[in-house]
Amino acid sequence: MTRTPEASAGAAVGALVFFELTSGFLQIGITPLLPELTAHLGIDAADASWIISVQLLAAAVCVPLLGRLGDLYGHRRVLRAALALIAVGSLVVALADSLPVLLAGRLLQGPIAALLPLEMALARDRLPVAGARRAIARLVGSLALGTLLGGVSTGLIHSATGSLRLTLLVPALLAAACVTVAFLAVPESSRRAGGRVDWPGVALLGAAVTALLAGVGGAKDGAWGSAAVIGPLLAGGLLLAGWAAVELRTAEPLVDLRAMAGRDVAPVYLAALPFGVFYFGSQAPNATFLAADPATTGYGFALSALAIALVSLPGHLAAVLGSFATAAVAARIGYRTTLLAAFAMVAAAFLQFALVHDAVWQFAAGSVLLGLGVGLSLGAMPTVIVEASDPTRTGVAAALYNNVKTLGGAVAGGAFAALLGSFVRPATGQPDEAGYRAVWLVGALCALLAVALVAATRRRTAGPAGPTATPAGPTATPAGLPAERVDSPGSEARHGL
């Protein structure tokens, strides 16, 4: 029996939803396991931050690269390749018996951040406008749901099996199932872009971020003025400057830095960098603090993976609620004011962590405030970016915001690892409590810097943002797709995603 276009579309959207549920599971599921991983691999809590930052390093390059490859060669083809890499990386992570092998697996998981952009491109290419918008909303919601399920499910599985390897094999199996589904239920996009890939931009960006991470990693023992730190940091800065020069002179750049020009928009893009620092960088330190044994370290609560997931759950729920409430809040006070308030909440949460963290309920309360601020930030930031940009460049603006945020997260993981490493007690091999206070104070300073940068932007008198300015959701990574993909001519006549 021949399937109707509506049935085919429903099956395809269902497949993409499954991919996003798995993506959310993979992104958050490893966080409660970080303390167990450090014990299994024989590394200290400071090194746990590298497990997060390495994946973000790969994501900083994968998002623009895979998006461009999808435009040129087909989004389904690139989606399949990305899922295959993620599945292999997840298996390597599950089987890893050393930190280098684990980090290699995390590098292979870098394309996780590129899944949603590729899926959005497929929806916009093959569905009518209204159907595409509904599909994208489902994808974003599925990603949010996946992040909620990831932490709790991982904790439950680990509690039931008592095995770190078996627990990590579950997301690996989910990723492998995604590869199979991608070959059975997802059709190819119907259009191709012209042009080429900016390979020099890819190479320079990857080298620059790697050098910056190597520099901050060299400061683990507190030797911030050593050649091992200053040399790579200078090299990273020079490479980043060279990359920017290449991008500005390239007709088809990997990342269109021209979108950052102008006093109205540049401070907002700059705010995305500290946003990425506190959003991504705090995940590993918070987990290792909760797992620390107070009998040995003098701080922490000796929580299991399940208990860490449950303590973090209210914060994740607050982030989802904050993101979904963004439109309603902004309708009353405006997106710019919403973003200022959100960053202020984040700063207050980190200050609370630094000053008051002697009971689990205090940490959970701070997590709710942090989650609410992060959720509102994630909901409002894309809209503020888009409204401050040229209306004809909304897709490029969203992509650039995502790249800057991810870059901040990549550097933050290494910087926080080095910061914790600077406070390690020789007797225990674990960071001193002052190290965690320093991390949280840096998070608060980053949030306050973001407040100052957003406040420095001038108010716009333009009307409400159109559909392309819709917030991307709790952990969405906007694709940077051309704006015409949303309302392209003839899109109403296409069926069967």
Neighbours of 273 (CB within 10 A): 20
Give mean pLDDT, residues 281-296: 84
In this predicted structure, the answer to whether residue 330 has a pLDDT above a threshold of 60 is yes
In this predicted structure, the answer to whether residue 102 has a pLDDT above a threshold of 60 is yes
Check the CA dihedral 194-115-206-90 and report its sign: negative
pLDDT confidence tier of residue 297, bands split at 50, 70 and 90? confident
> Where is mean pLDDT largest: 71-80, 363-372, 468-477?
363-372
The confidence score (pLDDT) of residue 463 equals: 41
Going by C-alpha positions, the residue among 296, 363, 355, 284 that lies closest to residue 46 is 284
Give mean pLDDT, residues 221-234: 72
SS3 299: coil
DSSP 431: B
The confidence score (pLDDT) of residue 133 equals: 63
> Where is mean pLDDT largest: 99-103, 430-434, 488-492?
99-103
- The kind and range of the H/E element at 39 are helix 34-41
Least confident of 65-69, 102-106, 212-216: 212-216
Average pLDDT, the chain: 78
Residue with more model confidence, 326 or 491: 326
What are the Cα distances from residue 494, in Å, to 25, 127, 491?
32, 6, 5
pLDDT confidence tier of residue 390, bands split at 50, 70 and 90? low
SS3 359: coil
Q: What is the pLDDT of residues 338-384, one digit of tens each?
A: 999 999 999 999 999 999 988 999 988 999 999 899 888 887 887 77
The confidence score (pLDDT) of residue 219 equals: 60
Q: What is the identity of the amino acid at 244?
A: A
The confidence score (pLDDT) of residue 471 equals: 38
Neighbours of 131 (CB within 10 A): 19
The confidence score (pLDDT) of residue 10 equals: 62
In this predicted structure, the answer to whether residue 491 has a pLDDT above a threshold of 90 is no
In this predicted structure, the answer to whether residue 277 has a pLDDT above a threshold of 90 is no
The confidence score (pLDDT) of residue 113 equals: 82
Q: For residue 231, what are the contacts with CB-CB under 8 A and spacing of at least 6?
A: 215
SS3 487: coil
Q: What is the pLDDT of residues 149-192, one digit of tens each?
A: 887 888 888 888 888 889 999 999 999 999 999 998 788 777 77
Residue with more model confidence, 246 or 56: 246
CB burial readout 390-412, b (16+ within 10 A) else e = eeebbbbbbbbbbbbbbbbbbbb
Instruction: Report the Cα–Cα distance between both ends of the chain, in Å, rounded.
Output: 19
Q: For residue 359, what are the contacts with CB-CB under 8 A and spacing of at least 6?
A: none
Please list the alpha-helical segments (H only) found in 186-304. Answer: 199-217, 227-249, 266-281, 283-291, 294-297
DSSP 459: P
Going by C-alpha positions, the residue among 417, 447, 146 that lies closest to residue 283 is 417
Least confident of 208-222, 357-371, 384-398: 384-398
Percent of the chain with pLDDT over 90: 17
Residue corresponding to tokens 């930052």:
53
In this predicted structure, the answer to whether residue 396 has a pLDDT above a threshold of 50 is yes
Least confident of 49-53, 352-356, 396-400: 396-400
Q: What is the pLDDT of residues 16-36, one digit of tens each?
A: 888 988 988 888 888 888 888
Give mean pLDDT, residues 101-116: 89
The confidence score (pLDDT) of residue 485 equals: 33
Structure-block tokens of residue 198: 């900016």
Structure-block tokens of residue 8: 């085919």
CA distance 36 to 164: 7
The confidence score (pLDDT) of residue 393 equals: 52
